[in-house]
RNA sequence: GGAGAGAUGGCCGAGUGGUCGAAGGCGCACGCCUGCUAAGCGUGUAUACGGGUAACACCGUAUCGAGGGUUCGAAUCCCUCUCUCUCCGCCA
């Protein structure tokens, strides 16, 4: 039997379609999504019911035949031939109805959390707070695409030569800086925030991407193998969230908090021509990701602490940052509520998004079938999942290079990084 | 990559065409007994979807790695695939 996968509870759509439509309007999604689901649901249930009636009949009569003496079975069975054929036809019909229903369900986005301000697009997002000092310079600060090559830390030309546009090579102290930042962030989250470290596969099967909500709708953002069902992950959120796919977590397991370092791969088709300068947006980048699995009653509080963990990285690195809350119109397909963390890059003079902290509530859990048992013997319920970067790498490197650049062209790293980078924490031209 | 073996419920493990959602054991839950740190006895112990209920109860269907086939009927027969294990080869 096909397992219906839904982002929303079908029952909610069935019983309160007008409410769902109104909520979808807030996230700029059309009401027709609900009607499509309703139509498909009706057709599917009708098909299923008629099929099950036939199967019940067959089971009953087959048992009668089984009770007969062997010699009489064959002739008795002959009369059931047409019923068997009807069942076969009914199965095909039900399968079609089922997949139509599933397709419709998978295209419905998550509903917004009650606390999210209603707005139509990113212009209505709210800056929640601005923290830290936007460093001032007694010289004109340079953008990282000048600092990096001057230090021999970033090689754009060779990146393009070997892999094409949106690729770059980190060299020498640039590569070491990135490695230091990764180690620093992993250590911080593991040792101080209690996350359990995970090193996940960077290639996954398609069903993982359905689970997290990247498929079926956003396949054009992803790379995949041409011959096999391998997809490069766009974020560690995908493999880590799917760690517990199709599992029932026993009492006491929650909350689960994971931190994972992984490379990430994105086609960036939608942003063609944008952010092509520097290392802000590449087809491949590294990221340290935080992922949580929690009981529903805890997910609001867990989002707060997730956000705090991401902000702690900025604080320790001495960067200026701000937190922006997405309005309903700018929520992602999967998030019920979302905050972005942006760091200030004084060279290119931009706020760079380094983390999106989201509570998906049971949206991903339903798609990925991740449940927990509230108590021994109790019925399984869907967990809530959350995630956010802690943080995304190249942009942190940008902010570090630009914030800590010196008049002589060198870069003096903040104290928190020195033990990881080594030496006196200084990058300078060879 | 080559050869072989295997995949059954939380776990172990029976079951080769009919009354098997599946014996038995373990584990677990509840109750009883006992009374001393353990044992005994009893009962229960999957999930999903659909129907049903105020909510339970209850009814139907599906699920014995996955998909397909044979049959009135499949855990059981046939085909394909996936995964696991062992040995060989190769390799970071």
Tell me the pLDDT tens digit for each residue of A320-358. 999 999 999 999 999 999 999 999 999 999 999 999 999
Confidence label for A4 from pLDDT (cuts 50, 70 and 90): very low
Supply the DSSP string of A402-414, one letter for each residue: HHSB-TTS-EE--
Confidence label for A1 from pLDDT (cuts 50, 70 and 90): very low
Beta-bridge partners for A323: A129, A341
d(CA A165, CA A267): 11
CB closer than 7 A to strand B: which residues?
A: A 1, 3-4, 10, 45, 48-49, 52-53, 55-56, 58-63, 65-67, 70, 73-74, 77-78, 80-81, 83-84, 87, 248, 371, 376-377, 379-380
Please name the nucleotide lying closest to A48, CA to C1': B50
List the catalytic residues of A.
266, 281, 353, 356, 395
Q: How far is the CA of A98 from the C1' of B64 (A)?
A: 24
Alpha-helical (H) ranges within A153-223 are: 156-163, 173-187, 206-212
Structure tokens at A15: 């019983």
pLDDT (mean) for A252-256: 88
Please name the nucleotide lying closest to A74, CA to C1': B72
Confidence label for A2 from pLDDT (cuts 50, 70 and 90): very low
Window from A60-74, A188-202, A211-225 with minimum mean pLDDT: A60-74
Window from A49-58, A243-252, A414-423 with minimum mean pLDDT: A243-252
Q: The whole model's pTM is what?
A: 0.90
Beta-bridge partners for A262: A287
Please name the nucleotide lying closest to A4, CA to C1': B49
Please name the nucleotide lying closest to A51, CA to C1': B61
Q: What is the complex's ipTM, to 2 decimals?
A: 0.81
**A288: number of CA atoms within 13 Å, CB side?**
26
Strand B positions with any atom < 7 Å from protein CB? 18-19, 28-29, 47-51, 60-63, 71-73
Q: Which position has the token pair 């009708």?
A: A46
**A167: number of CA atoms within 13 Å, CB side?**
11
Highest mean pLDDT among A12-26, A179-193, A226-240: A179-193
Confidence label for A8 from pLDDT (cuts 50, 70 and 90): low
Window from A36-40, A126-130, A192-196 with minimum mean pLDDT: A36-40
Q: How far is the CA of A167 from the C1' of B12 (A)?
A: 53
Number of neighbouring beta carbons within 10 Å of residue A405: 26
d(CA A105, CA A108): 6
pLDDT digits (tens, 9 = 90+) for A35-54: 999 999 999 999 999 999 99
What is the SS3 assignment for A210-259? HHHCCCCCCHHHCCECCCCCCEECCCCHHHHHHHHCCEEECCCCCCEEEE
Buried residues in A317-342 as b, exposed as e (16+ CB within 10 A): bbbbbbbbbbbbbbbbbbbbbbbbbb
């Amino acid at each position: 039997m096909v397992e219906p996968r839904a982002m929303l509870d079908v029952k909610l759509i069935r019983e309160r379609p007008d409410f769902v439509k109104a909520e979808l309007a807030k996230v700029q999604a059309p009401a027709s999504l609900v009607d499509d689901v309703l139509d498909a649901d009706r057709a599917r249930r009708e098909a299923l019911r008629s099929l099950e009636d036939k199967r019940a009949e067959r089971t009953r009569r087959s048992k009668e035949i089984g009770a007969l003496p062997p010699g009489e079975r064959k002739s008795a069975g002959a009369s059931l031939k047409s019923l068997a054929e009807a069942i076969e036809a009914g199965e095909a019909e039900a399968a079609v109805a089922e997949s139509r229903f599933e397709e419709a369900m998978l295209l419905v986005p998550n509903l917004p959390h009650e606390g999210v301000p209603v707005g139509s697009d990113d212009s209505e997002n709210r800056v929640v707070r601005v923290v830290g000092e936007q460093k001032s310079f007694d010289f004109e600060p340079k953008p990282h695409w000048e600092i990096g090559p001057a230090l021999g830390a970033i090689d754009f030309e060779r990146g393009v030569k070997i892999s094409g546009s949106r690729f770059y090579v980190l060299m020498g102290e640039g590569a070491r800086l990135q490695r230091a930042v990764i180690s620093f962030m992993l250590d911080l989250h593991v040792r101080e925030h209690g996350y359990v470290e995970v090193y996940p596969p960077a290639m996954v099967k398609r069903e993982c991407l359905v689970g997290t909500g990247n498929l079926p709708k956003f396949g054009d953002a992803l790379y995949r193998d041409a011959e096999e069902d391998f997809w490069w992950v766009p974020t560690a959120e995908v493999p880590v969230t799917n760690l517990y796919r199709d599992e029932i977590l026993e009492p006491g397991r929650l909350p689960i908090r994971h931190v994972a370092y992984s490379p990430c791969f994105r086609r960036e088709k939608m942003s063609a021509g944008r952010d092509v300068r520097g290392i802000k947006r590449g087809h491949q980048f590294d990221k340290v990701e935080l992922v949580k699995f929690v009981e529903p009653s805890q997910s609001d509080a867990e989002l707060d602490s997730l956000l705090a963990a991401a902000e702690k990285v900025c604080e320790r690195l001495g960067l200026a940052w701000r937190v922006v809350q997405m309005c309903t119109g700018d929520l992602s397909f999967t998030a019920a509520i979302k905050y972005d963390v942006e760091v200030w890059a004084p060279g290119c003079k931009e706020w760079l998004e380094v983390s999106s902290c989201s509570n998906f509530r049971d949206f991903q859990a339903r798609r990925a079938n991740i449940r927990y048992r509230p108590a021994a013997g109790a019925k399984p319920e869907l967990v809530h999942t959350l995630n956010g970067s802690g943080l995304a790498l190249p942009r942190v490197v940008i902010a570090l290079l630009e914030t800590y650049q010196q008049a002589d062209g060198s870069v003096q790293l903040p104290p928190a990084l020195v033990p990881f980078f080594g030496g006196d924490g200084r990058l300078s031209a060879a």
